[in-house]
Amino acid sequence: MAKTSYKTKAKWQRVALLTPGALLYGIFNFLPLLGLLALCLVDWPGIGPMKFVGLDNFLQLFGNPFYRDQLIKAFGQNLIFFAIIIGAMLVFGTFLALLLSFRTWGRNFYRSIFFLPYPLAGAAVAFLLELIVRTKGPLNVLIVQGLHLSGKPIGFLGDPLLALPTLAAFYSWHRMSFAIILILSAIVAVRVHLIEAAMLDGANRRQTLRAVVFPVLAPAFILIVVIVMVDVFNNADYTLLLMGPEGAPARATDIMGTFLFRSAFGGAATSVNVNFGMSAAIGLVTAVAILPAAIFLALRNLRKD
């Protein structure tokens, strides 16, 4: 009897502890999702009454060439943006994490230095980027006067071919410490005796990395890919602050975040009707597009664990 009473008490204690978190999750995540779904079904410029249009926003988005072309271009450029960022973060993040894992003098100091950019706000990073890459900025001074690689300043944000990679490079720099921390934690988890055993069995460095080290690092890689994917496809702070809602120059930096913003609030040269319903539909399409990949990678990560 006492044992049953103890189990019942423990059960209610768990319920009491979990309920506040569940309520907060529902209020701040589930209710906004319901609001998003409802907003997708209306035409609303932000002021005045809402007009119910059913699935017309989705039909316009995929059926109207004006919206469809913008959607395809924005999503394609978002994929390129993501590919550059995740490639840089995994390659340089792994390299720097390996360097920081060595027992050298000043290791903690260097770890702190690499973590410094992460807490910076996107607006601060955008301002710093503009200062560095402007025509008379330090990067162009180094290229033109220091290294003599070019006879004139390079318009990193004004060239349609360079603007998106430049934004991706600074995003990677801003978030690099996040990747370093996760990869460094995984490196620390690698058992030294496993590496020594592999080397005693005759494995060379490449075989040891492939068979012992990288399987331990894989969960960290997958987690980085999932989190960066969600962030890159939902945020456009650098692009909006530096290039505007049109994704200048010539929409070369137009991604899903700027397309969504432009549909809700308009832009300097856009003919898109301001419609929060269309903006909500774009957000939902973006979520549905990346959700399968995120779920697949997350489940694969769980299976590896």
Q: What is the pLDDT of residues 25-71, one digit of tens each?
A: 888 888 888 888 999 999 998 888 899 999 999 999 999 998 999 99
Q: What is the mean pLDDT of residues 153-163?
A: 91
The enclosing H or E element of 269 equals none
Residue 4: strand, helix, or coil: helix
pTM confidence score: 0.86
Contact call for residues 287 and 297 (beta carbons, < 8 A): no
Amino acid at 20: P
Would you state the pLDDT for residue 269? 55
Rg over CA atoms, the chain? 24
**How far from 20 is each of 11, 29, 300, CA to CA, in Å?**
15, 14, 30
Q: What is the mean pLDDT of residues 139-162?
A: 88
Would you state the pLDDT for residue 91? 94
| ω into 153 cis (within 30 of 0) | no
Residue 42, beta-bridge partner list: 52
Which of the two residues, 251 and 212, has the higher pLDDT score? Answer: 251
pLDDT in tens, 179-196: 999 998 888 877 677 777
Per DSSP, the chain holds a count of helices (H) and strands (E) of 14, 2
Averaged pLDDT of the chain = 86
Which of the two residues, 298 and 143, has the higher pLDDT score? Answer: 143
**How far apart are the C-alpha atoms of 290 and 282, rounded to whole Å?**
13
Would you state the pLDDT for residue 2? 52
Alpha helices by DSSP H, listed for 134-191, are 138-141, 163-189
Would you state the pLDDT for residue 25? 82
Residue 262 has pLDDT above 70, yes or no: yes
**How far apart are the C-alpha atoms of 287 and 211, rounded to whole Å?**
35
Q: How confident is the model at residue 281 (pLDDT cuts 50, 70, 90)?
A: very high
The total of other beta-carbon atoms located within 10 Å of residue 210's CB is: 12
Q: Residue 195, exposed/middle/buried by CB under 10 A (0-12, 13-18, 19+)?
A: middle
Query: Domain spanning 80-304: which CATH class is it, in words?
Result: mainly alpha
DSSP code, position 146 = I
Would you state the pLDDT for residue 268? 63
Would you state the pLDDT for residue 98? 84
Residues 6+ apart with CB under 8 A from 180: 93, 96, 97, 100, 114, 115
Residues 6+ apart with CB under 8 A from 22: none
